Amino acid sequence: MSAEDGTYHALLARHDAMRLRRNLLSPGGGTEPGDTARPAPQEPYDGAADQRLIMSRLDLVAPFDELITQLYAALFTRHPALRSLFPSGMEFQQAHLARAFWYLIEHLDQPERITETFTQLGRDHRKLGVRPAQYTAFEQALCEALRFRSGEHWSAELEDAWVRMLRLGVTAMVRGAEAALREPACWSATVTEHRRCGPDLAVLRARPHEPFRYRAGQYTAVEHALLPHTWRPYYVAGEPGRDGELEFHVRCTAPGGVSEALVHRTGAGDRVRLGPPKGSLALGDGPEGEVRLVAWDTGWAAMKALLREAERRARPAAERRVRLFLGADTPAGLYDTGYAAELERRRPWLSVVTVAGGAPGEDAYGRLARAVAHGAGPASGRTLVAGPPAMVRAVTGLLLDAGLPAGNVLHDPLPDGPYPGPYTAGGHGPGVAAPPRDRPVPA
């Protein structure tokens, strides 16, 4: 795309965003000829009331997988061109949308939290080629699916509650997309190195074609050329700004997915695309208390980046103690640990604890959790955790039970959130987090 084309599309996207915002906030709310006019959400928005209404009649539209199947059928029938924005297999996308719906419903009484989360989601969705006006088509398809699922029990009151909920999230997404117009929607990168660390594990290095600014501990979504429109999140292990190259650790967990393509079908010179960086893992600025870095398998990538950041910051007069906990199913699963061992030898502020193997049937995640909890005082520093959802829950649960403040135990989003967090080995399929089961409907 030429510079002139890029400027044109940026202006067009801004125009669409402004038009959609006017539609969302204007009285009447119709967006196309023939649409049923609905009042825009009034300030302050009573999300708790809509939450009660939606939950009380959830049985009319559940299960969500059937509602979402009907939604996409309506969307692609009305707008066939939109099908090209989605991967050929829709299972991951449908699970992603189910999580987003559940997140909206469960947090409707906290509109500020939804706004913060969906602002980031809107920025991230730019890489998919979604333009703001296309959210209008999605809203129409949702209404059609709600009417189909509800049948004779459909009511305008219930549909309006769903639309107000959707528009709360969409408005935040549009604002997030607008705020990010000065950065690329995604970054192309060339693989410069591909190193196998085992039968199903690879460490890749890739150089983005444009500056890619991120913080240590963040992750990014990766798309392989063999699987267009299919994105999976991975931690970046490299040190920000060092040489422009990014390092990814990828475990292949099932055939046919992004992880298999990156491990078994990628070499130097191949191209990948990257989404915007995101994530909440960070060392923090204060010197008080030790920092515990806890990783299982490829979660080590996040901790490797944070260790590099800790080494860069270290000053002899005020060194902050760091304890690194690495876990794996077997000793052979503890890969690429040379950096940690060498750093521990050179830096007295670092100690490394490994947990691998164990007695048959023993809970490996539990062993790691107990190792982390051992000696951790009730208010002792912060703990950063990266790994499979079950491992993250095991470690955080035990630490909270031991009395550590919840604000001192940090991890990135688990599959229950509106979008999946970074993929690490031990998940459900090739970078796919398990879709949530439908919750029981309140009486």
Say what the pLDDT of residue 7 is. 41
Question: Cα(181)–Cα(129) distance, rounded to whole angstroms?
Answer: 13
Residue 431, Cα to own-chain centre: how many angstroms? 11
Residue type for position 118: F
DSSP three-state, residue 347: coil
How confident is the model at residue 343, as a pLDDT? 93
Within a 13 Å sphere around the CA of 161, how many CA atoms are in the beta-carbon half? 22
pLDDT value at residue 33: 33
| pLDDT given for residue 114 in this prediction | 93
One pLDDT digit (tens) per residue for the chain, 443 residues: 444 334 434 444 454 545 444 444 443 344 343 344 344 445 678 999 999 999 999 999 988 899 999 999 999 999 998 888 888 888 888 888 998 999 999 999 999 999 988 988 888 878 777 776 688 899 999 999 999 999 999 999 999 999 999 999 999 988 888 887 888 889 999 999 999 999 999 999 999 999 999 999 999 999 999 998 888 999 999 888 767 899 999 999 888 899 999 999 999 999 999 999 989 899 887 656 789 999 999 999 999 999 999 888 876 545 678 999 999 988 888 999 899 999 999 999 999 999 997 766 668 898 999 999 886 665 568 899 999 999 999 999 998 888 888 888 999 987 666 656 776 654 432 222 333 333 322 22
**Cα separation, 237 vs 240, whole angstroms:** 9
What is the crossing angle of helices 134-150 and 3-25, to 10°?
40
Determine the pLDDT at residue 39: 44
Structure tokens at 125: 């969705």
Q: Please give the structure tokens belonging to residue 279.
A: 């994530």
Surface-to-core class of residue 213, CB atoms within 10 Å of its CB (0-12 exposed, 13-18 middle, 19+ buried): exposed
C-alpha of 367 from chain center? 27
We find that the CATH architecture of domain 3-179 is Orthogonal Bundle (1.10)
Q: Which of 381, 367, 371, 368 is nearest to 409 (CA)?
A: 381
Q: What is the side-by-side order of every strand in the sheet holding 201-208? A: 231-235, 219-224, 271-274, 187-198, 201-208, 246-251
Centre a 10 Å sphere on the Cβ of residue 3 and count the other Cβ atoms it contains.
7
Write b or e for each residue in 233-269: b if 16 or more Cβ atoms lie within 10 A of its Cβ, otherwise e.
bbbbbbbbeeeebbbbbbbbbeeebbbbbbbeebeee
- Contact between 242 and 431 (Cβ < 8 Å): no
CATH fold for domain 291-410 = Rossmann fold (3.40.50)
Q: What is residue 3's predicted lDDT score, i.e. its pLDDT?
A: 42
Integer-rounded Cα radius of gyration of the chain: 23
CATH superfamily of this structure's domain 187-274: Translation factors (2.40.30.10)
Burial class (CB in 10 A: 0-12, 13-18, 19+), 45: middle
Residues whose CB falls within 8 Å of the CB of residue 278, separated by 6 or more in sequence, listed in order: 120, 124, 218, 219, 220
First CA to last CA distance, the chain: 55
pTM for this model (two decimals): 0.72
Peptide bond connecting 348 to the previous residue in cis, omega within 30 degrees of 0:
no
Cβ atoms of residues 196 and 206 within 8 Å: no
- pLDDT, residue 106, reads 93
Q: Where are the domains of the chain?
A: 3-179, 187-274, 291-410
Q: What is the pLDDT of residue 280?
A: 87
pLDDT at 81: 86
Q: How many other C-beta atoms are found inside a 10 Å radius of the C-beta of residue 151?
A: 8
Q: Let me know the angle formed at the C-alpha of 97 by 94 and 102, rounded to the nearest 5 degrees.
A: 125
How far apart are alpha carbons 129 and 127 in whole angstroms?
A: 5
110: DSSP letter: -
* Tally of CB atoms within 10 A around 68: 22
CA distance 286 to 300: 23
Tabulate helix, strand, coil % of the chain (nearest 5). Answer: 45, 15, 40
